Structure 1
Amino acid sequence: MPELPEVETVRDGLERLVVGAVVRRAEVFRDYSVRRHAAGPSDFAGRLAGQRLVAAVRRGKFLWLPLTDDAGPGAAPDRADDPARAPGEALLAHLGMSGQLLVRGGVSADDWRHPHLRVRLHLEEAPVVDGVPARFLDFVDQRTFGHLSVQDLVPDGSGNPAGQGSDLPLLPEPVAHIARDLLDPYVRPEDVARRVRRRRTQVKRALLDQTVVSGVGNIYADEALWRARVHGRRATDRMRQADVLRVLDAATEVMSEALARGGTSFDALYVNVNGQSGYFERSLNVYGREGEPCRRCGTEIRREQFMNRSSYFCPDCQRAPRS
């Protein structure tokens, strides 16, 4: 599943390539991909027609594009950061396991259609990049766990910017319960560490709890725990504040490094808006390396079942807690 670095890479691409564009019309090719839009596919398409995409914003693994019907020529794309003209709705996207938002330009609708195309937005007045404006924003999703919807924006409650990419304290209502992520400038790691220690759970479960801290998934949780020399089954209420902070610092480091390299890709499902894969997988130390030597001590990496997934760890560097 795409995690924070992959989703932020997509957000950055949307900000450069489609913010400021007007949605001429929307096509829904699979109703299930807009299942979170309660009024149905026709209403989804109708709500988008004529709307300008005024920002690209992210919190954790959620992306949203605030909308305004002020679609006159020359309308400024930064209107989303003007409180006096704050948008009331946004196109919300969650990529699920295999969702992709792909920007296309310079071709007609019939020239290119992905076999797993679920939703297509036809764009006008998009930014011109390398001499070509974007013409389509496609939502492609092979496994169909992702979804798009148009949602009302609600106050964040903190008074601070609600996500990366906008200065407004507004976010889609379904995202209101999602915690800030470790790359958010308004996050205090000490506060996150205290929340982790209050959970009375295993530390890896706490890292994956998006209401505690967002953006961390299975891959980067394993990588962070390895860097911090902490086993994922450590009980959070028995950990010292300093130990939890070490894990959070490691998660921040590994996600920052992955973001600099465009995220982690194992196959064609993980791509940015241009269809290019990230390559941080070359730097993974434990995830997916069962049976290989630990790069720190040489001990064989092990895998164990975890929440219908897998955890990878070094049994020497990350000593398992006693039962």
Structure 2
Amino acid sequence: MPELPEVEVVRRGLERWVSGRTIASADVLHPRAVRRNAGELADQLKGREIRSAERRGKYLWLPLGDEGEHAAAEPAADRTAEHPSGPESAEHVAGEALLAHLGMSGQLLMVDPDAPLEKHLRVRIGFADGGPDLRFVDQRTFGHVLVAPLTVPVRPSHAGPYRPVPEPVAHIAPDPFEDVFDDTEFAIRVRRRRTGIKRALLDQSLISGVGNIYADEALWRARLHWARPTETLTTKKIAELLAAARDVMSEALGEGGTSFDSLYVNVNGESGYFDRSLAVYGRRDEPCRRCGTPIRREAFMNRSSYSCPRCQPRPRDARP
């Protein structure tokens, strides 16, 4: 499944290709890809301008203007809400957005309107300027798109401006690249969780955007075994792990993300190549890039965890 760097690559492409364009049509070729509003998508989107491309963790969304409204009337930089200061504050609606989750195999592609339709095309969005379509292609149809209300989340533990997020995303924690992500609070909550550290990294209520690949890579950089109990970690060690996660995901972003097959691509259909730089993930029995010890693979939550037995020794009090 695409993780934060892969989704950010797609977001940047969408920002370039669809911001400021007005939607002329939306065709749904598979109802499951749109879920609850399959029959309404065209009516919800026609005539509306896409203002920008946004992301939190693995979710993407395109804020929409009202039909016939020009986005310049409300610049993207000004569409934030100040953090409510009192307990009486509540979430409020701040417009709508086209929300997308890529699932296991979803692709958002910019394609010439006259190009042949893709075999697994699920949703096709055309624009009034006659330029490239936005097409949602999904071989396994685990991903989806839908129009959702934008709400301003209330998180009293944070301070500062809050941008609107789609209602289905409001419960997800900020990702480590957001200004509102609080490193200190994250460390406190991780230590209270009493679980294995990799489970904590994958917990979307603690931190969003980190998946199996980058969790393993960050843990290797921080010299932590994935089953290390969270309550045994110092604040300093958690800070090192966060820094490692940010570093590895930044490096992956610079190389277009990680592509193990043709399912993950950017909006131009191109694959990333960070898989060549992975230190442990998918490298079972290959030498550790730091010490030369063969990388081990262990079962984890119906998936796999990769680590170096020497650099990341399994703790005696390991938590599965």
TM score, norm. by length of structure 1: 0.89
Hey, what does 2:98 align to over in structure 1?
A: 91
Tell me which of 114, 121, 141 is aligned to 2:118. Answer: 114
Matching residue within 141, 145, 149 for 2:146: 149
Counterpart-to-counterpart distance in 1, 2:185 and 2:167 = 24
CA distance in 2, matches of 1:83, 1:185: 15
Distance 2:181 2:167 in 1: 20
Residues of 1 paired with 2:11 and 2:249: CA distance?
A: 15
Partner of 1:69: 66
Query: Offset of 1:69 from its aligned partner?
Result: 2.2
**Deviation at 1:161?**
5.3
Cα 1:280/1:16, change in 2 over 3 Å: same
In 2: Cα distance, 1:268 partner to 1:177 partner: 31
Gapped regions of structure 2 (runs ≥ 5): 82-92
In the alignment, the residues of structure 1 paired with residue 235 and residue 145 of structure 2 have an alpha-carbon distance, to the nearest angstrom, of 38
* Aligned-partner SS, 1:250: helix
Q: What's the secondary structure of 1:276's corresponding residue?
A: coil
Aligned-residue CA RMSD (Å): 1.9
Distance in 2, matches of 1:42 and 1:160, equals 39
Do residues 276 (structure 1) and 280 (structure 2) align? no
- Residue 60 of structure 1 is matched in structure 2 by 57
Alpha carbons 1:80, 1:87 under 8 Å: kept:
no
The match for 1:193 is 187
State the Cα deviation string for residues 251-292 of structure 1 (Å, max 9, x = none).
Answer: 011001111111111111111111111111110000000010
In structure 2, the residue matched to 1:13 is 13
Structure 2 CA distance, aligned partners of 1:83 and 1:251?
29
| Contact 1:18-1:134 at 8 Å conserved across structures | no
For 1:130, the equivalent position in structure 2 comes to: none
Distance 1:16 1:253, change over 3 A: same
Q: Which runs of 4+ in 1 moved over 3 A?
A: 77-87, 158-162
Report the number of matched residues. Answer: 303
Q: Which amino acid aligns with 2:109?
A: L
Q: What is the match of residue 300 of structure 1?
A: 294
Counterpart of 1:191 in structure 2: which amino acid?
E
Q: Secondary structure at the residue paired with 1:53?
A: coil
Q: What 5-or-longer segments of structure 1 have no aligned partner? A: 126-132, 163-168
Cα offsets for 1:23-71 (capped at 9, x unmatched)? 1010001101011xx3x31112210111111110001111110111243
* Equivalences for residues 1-323 of structure 1 within 5 A: 1-35=1-35, 38=36, 40-71=37-68, 75-76=71-72, 79-83=75-79, 88-105=95-112, 107-108=113-114, 111-125=115-129, 134-157=131-154, 160=160, 162=162, 169-323=163-317
Deviation, 1:192, is: 1.4
2:76 and 2:281 mapped to 1: Cα distance? 39
1:263–1:77 Cα change, 3 Å: farther
Given that residues 54 and 77 in structure 1 are in contact (C-alpha distance below 8 angstroms), is that contact kept between their aligned partners in structure 2? no
